[in-house]
Amino acid sequence: MHFLRLIRPINLLVIALTMYAVRVFFLPYMVKPCSCQGWNSEPLDFFLLVFSTVIIAAGGNIINDYFDVKADRINKPEKLIITKYIKPRWAILMHWILNFVAFGIACYLSWRHQTFWYMFIHLLSINGLWFYSMYFKRRFLIGNVIISILTGLVPILCGIYFLDITSPFNHDYLPSTWSTHDGSWITDLNLKIFFVLFFAIFAASLNLVREIVKDMEDVSGDLVLKAKTLPIVLGQTKTKWIAAGLIVVMIVLPIPFIWEAYAIYGKSFLIAMAPALLVLLGMLLVLFQLYQATEKKQLKQADLTLKIIMIIGCCMPFYWYFL
């Protein structure tokens, strides 16, 4: 039980959900088996990819708590696991066992699909999480950026996998109700690549906001460690404005795409993007929560709202599949 609390199973389920959401998006492209050697073992290979990614994240959670023991005694003593229930040396051992298994799977997938991408991204993630927990987490902004980039790598890793084993882009895979017009920058775009990049940017950006909010929650403990996080250096008020500014940018940037897509697909596009309205309402709610936040409890509510937004965003491909 204590081990499960240490690896944060809910966060791991969100990672797995994200990866399988990408798979659901690519299912129409897998109607016709392709000639690549990865096709026949696709369900098993993809499960191994998800499993290896999840246990790397679990190992990252363990090493993060290992280096955060002093701060956690102040920030969240009720959630302290290492030293209280699990000895530090056992935590380190579990961390390396999980990473060893994950990298072994990455080596198999790289051999199986004749690419070094899986080994490279897994090794990058393992080392990135280690150095983040040991050093960069307590540095100005860079720790937040590292975790956000690693979050964005999750859909990109899935994209690399499926772009290798699926058929080329074909407009026939679009819903029949979506009429297309020649010359549109959307219909001429490879939707597979666009989806993966948009999903990655959305996940990374939203996670960056969440990391900033979490730093605002943990100021008391971070001061003990002499950390130089955003709220410690700039103050809570300026940090709230930065987080709110990032959310506004996330709301405004997709507007040209939405405008163009609606002009092409009409009401069909609005139906397909209905869950995005919940995401938008959630972002507006976070803006209000940040504006009202004066204590840690209110910041935790904003953090929870951001997590719910991420889950809704991850579920959109499932909605499209059953639409």
Q: Is the pLDDT of residue 181 over 60?
A: no
pLDDT computed for residue 193 by the predictor: 79
Share of the chain above pLDDT 70, in %: 88
pLDDT computed for residue 240 by the predictor: 93
Q: Say how many domains are in the chain.
A: 1
pLDDT computed for residue 201 by the predictor: 92
Residues 6 or more apart from 151 whose CB is under 8 A from it?
Answer: 203, 204, 207
Q: Can you tell me the distance from the alpha carbon of 66 to that of 58, in angstroms, rounded to the nearest whole number?
A: 12
| pLDDT interval class at 161 (50, 70, 90) | confident
CA angle 120–25–270, rounded 5-degree value: 130
Q: Can you tell me the distance from the alpha carbon of 99 to that of 107, in angstroms, rounded to the nearest whole number?
A: 12
Question: Higher model confidence: residue 164 or residue 206?
Answer: 206
pLDDT computed for residue 267 by the predictor: 77
pLDDT computed for residue 140 by the predictor: 87
Burial of 201 (0-12, 13-18, 19+ CB in 10 A): middle
Burial of 199 (0-12, 13-18, 19+ CB in 10 A): buried
pLDDT computed for residue 41 by the predictor: 62
Q: Once rounded to an integer, what is the mean pLDDT over residues 231-250? A: 93
Q: Is the pLDDT of residue 186 over 90?
A: no
Quote the mean pLDDT of the chain.
83
- In this predicted model, what pLDDT tens digit does every residue of 7-39 receive, in sequence order? 888 889 999 999 999 998 888 776 554 444 444
Which residues span the domain enclosing 127? 2-322
| pLDDT interval class at 320 (50, 70, 90) | confident
- CA 254, chain centre distance (Å): 18
Q: Is the pLDDT of residue 183 over 70?
A: no
Residues 6 or more apart from 222 whose CB is under 8 A from it?
Answer: 71, 75, 138, 215, 229, 232
Burial of 89 (0-12, 13-18, 19+ CB in 10 A): exposed
Q: What is the 3-state secondary structure (H, E, C) of 24-60?
A: HHHHHHHCCCCCCCCCCCHHHHHHHHHHHHHHHHHHH
**Is residue 15 within 8 Å of residue 314, measured between CB atoms?**
no
pLDDT computed for residue 168 by the predictor: 52
Residues 6 or more apart from 36 whose CB is under 8 A from it?
Answer: 113, 164, 165
pLDDT computed for residue 33 by the predictor: 45
Share of the chain above pLDDT 90, in %: 42
DSSP state of 86: B
Listing DSSP states for 180-199 in one string gives --TT-TTTTS-HHHHHHHHH
Question: Higher model confidence: residue 30 or residue 225?
Answer: 225
| pLDDT interval class at 122 (50, 70, 90) | very high
**Length of the chain in terms of residues written:** 323
Range scoring the smallest mean pLDDT among 4-8, 114-118, 155-159, 190-194: 190-194
